[in-house]
A and B are shown apart, each in its own frame.
Chain A
Amino acid sequence: MEMIKTQGLTRKFKEFQALSGIDVLIEEGDVYGFIGPNGAGKTTTIRVLATLLEPSSGAAFIDGINVVEEPYEIKKRVGFMPDSFGVYEGMRLREYLDFFGAAYKIPLKKRRAIIDDVLTLTDLAGKADLFVSAFSRGMKQRCCLAKTLIHDPKVLLLDEPASGLDPRARAEFKELIKTLQEMGKTILISSHILSELGDMCNKIGIISDGKMLAQGEYREILHQIRKARDLRLEVIEGADLAEKALEEDPAIEDFTRSGDEFHIQTNMGAIEISGLLTRLVESGVKVLFLEEIKGSLEDVFMHVTNGDYGN
C-alpha cells in the first residue's frame, strides 16, 4: 500500500526553485533514506509532507490523503522530527511529553500509560523527572523522537535525526529505527551523512538541486549502477600465475594488480566465481582470500550525482 506519494512537487522561494517536480513513492513499512547534499531540497520536501509548507504546485499524499486539502487528518497520521528543535526550558521530560500528548488530544486517562510506553521504547524511562534542557544532544534527540511517537503515527518524517550524535548514540538510534520498522511504521529519514543510512533503509531516494535523481530499492539501484561485480583477490604465492589465469579467463572484464593483490571486474555469477577460485587453486596459486566488494551508499550517491546513473 502506498503510504507516501508526491506527484510533481514544486516549491519556489522567491527566485529560488527549491523543488522541481519531485516524485516520491514510499510503501507501507518502508524505511526510506532521503539523501542529498545540503540545500538539495530534502527538508523542503519533508516540510511539505508535514503540512508546514504549501507546495507551489504538484500534490502530496499520505495514506491516500491530500496534504494540502486535509492537513488536520495528516497531522494525526504523521510524526515529524525537525532537524533543529528546541525543548521547553522549564519542563521535565514527563511534562514535555504530557504537553505534546495534550496537544495531540490524547485523553488524560490514556496519556500516562502512553508516555510510559514511549519512554520505555526510547530508553528514557529513568529520566522522566529530569529537566529536558539539561539533556545531552543524544538524549534530546531521543526525547524528540519520544514526542514524535506520542500519538502513535503511521508515518515518521525524520529530518537529519542522527546529526551531531556520537558513534554510540548513533548506533542506539539505528537500533531504535529498526524497532520502529518492526512495529510497522513507515519511516522517511533524510540525511547527508550516508554512512548513517546505509544499513537502515530498504529504499532510497537521491535528490540534488531540487530534482529526484534516483529512487527505489537500495540493492536494485546499486546493481544498476555497478554493471560489473567488483572482486578482490589476495594471494600468498603465485601472483604471476594468478595474473595469467585472469588474463585467459574470458569472463573477466578487467583487472588491476598491485603486488599480491588484484582488483577484478566481472559479470560472473556466484557459481562461476566459485569455479574461478577452484581454477586458481588448481593452477598452483595459494589464495589468501577472494571476496566481493560490497557497494556502499557513498558509491551510489557519487555515481548518481555525477550523472552516471541512467545514462
Chain B
Amino acid sequence: MTVMTPRRVVVTGLGAVTSIGIGAEEFLRGLRAGRSGAKPITAFDATGFDHAIGCEVTDFEAERFVVNLPVREFGRASHFAAAAARMAVDDAHLPLADLRAARSLVTVGTTDGESRDLDHLVQMEVDQGPEHLDPVVARRVPAGRLSIAAARELGLSNVEAVTLPTACAAGNYAIGYGFDAVRTGEVDVALCGGADAVCLKTFAGFYRLGTIAPERCQPFDRDRKGILTGEGAGIMLLENLESAVARGARIHAEVLGYGLNCDADHPVAPNEDSFARCVRLAHRNAGIVADDVDLISAHGTGTKANDVTEARAIRQVFGQSPPRTVSIKSMIGHTMGAASALASIACTLAIREGFIPPTINHVSTDPECGIDCVPNRAIDAQLRVAQNNALAFGGNNAVLILGRYEENGVTNSQPAGEEAA
C-alpha cells in the first residue's frame, strides 16, 4: 500500500429544506429564534388518531426550487433532496460547469425513501385493486432515486449517485461517506446529506409504539412525551481544502471525522455502552479528545428511552460535566433520514456564527439526563468543535465531528496519517 497524506475536507455549501425555514440562512434564523415547525399534519387523513401534530414543510413547491428535474417523475423526498442539493451548490458559488467536469459523489440518506408515494399506492390498491396503481407514482418508488434526483437536477454524469437508507442515522452516514471520498482524493466534490417526507406508515408505527408526542417535542425534559414526525432535507457540499482555497470559497466549517458502529443487540432499543464506543471511535477518527468538544448536537428524539440512554452514554465519555447538549428536533421534529444531516448543518452554522441553538419546549430537565440542553433561548458561544450524534433502528450508530476552520487545524493533535491504495 502507498502511504497517502489525507486531504483536509471542508464544508463550502449548505442546502436546507425545513419546517422552520427553507434555505440555510432562513434555517439559521429559525434556529437562532427557537422557532417551532409543529402544526397539524396534512400529509394524510389523520382521522382516528387522537392527536396528529407534525413538522411538515408547508410552503414547498418543487418547481420553485429546481430547474432541470422532471418533477412529476420524482416523489416528495426526491424533490427535497434535489432542492437542497441545488441550494448547496448555489451557496458554494461553484459554477455548474466546474461541478460537471469534476468527479463527484451524490449521497442522500433516508429512512423512508418515497414511502409517501407508497402510502398513496396502497390507498389506490385498497380502493380499486392492485391493477389500478398509477404507473407514474409506482415508477417513483425505488429509494436510489433520491440521490439520482439531486444528481440529475445538477446535470451530473461522472458521478456516483447512491442512497443510504440507514434509517434515522442516515444523514451522518452519508456525510461520513462523502468525507472519506473527498479525503482520499477519490472525488473532487461530494454532495451529501439526507431527505425524508412525512408519511402515514411511519407515523402509524411510532404512534402504535406510544412514542408520538401529542403536541410538542421536549427532548431531555422530565415530562417529555415522544417525537413529532418531521420532514425536509439537508445537503452539504464538501471539497478538499486546497480546492476551496484555490477558488476563494467561503469555508463554513471543517469535517474532522466520524465514527460508525452497530449495537448488534436490539432491533429498536438503543444501547448505552455501544453508543459510547461509537463516540470514542469518532473522536479517534477525527484526531480529537473529548475535552476538545464544545457542543453536542444530540440525537435527542424526546422519547423516554432515547434521551436517558444517550445522556448516559455522553456522561460515560465526557464525565459528569459534559459540553452543552442540544436537540434541534425540539424545533423541526424528527426528520428521519434528514435528521442528522440537518443537525450537521445546524452545527456548521453554530460554529460559523458563534452561537448555540436552543432546545425549545423545555420546562424542567430530567435529572436522569443531567445535561445542559440550552433551554428555549439560543446563546452566544465561540465553538471550535461540535459533535453530532445519530442513532437508528437496527442499532446503527453514527457520530460526526465538525470543527471551526483554522489554517493550522482547530485542534493541536493532527489526524493520524493513513494508508490508502
**A and B associate in one complex:** no
A→B interface (CB under 8 Å):
none
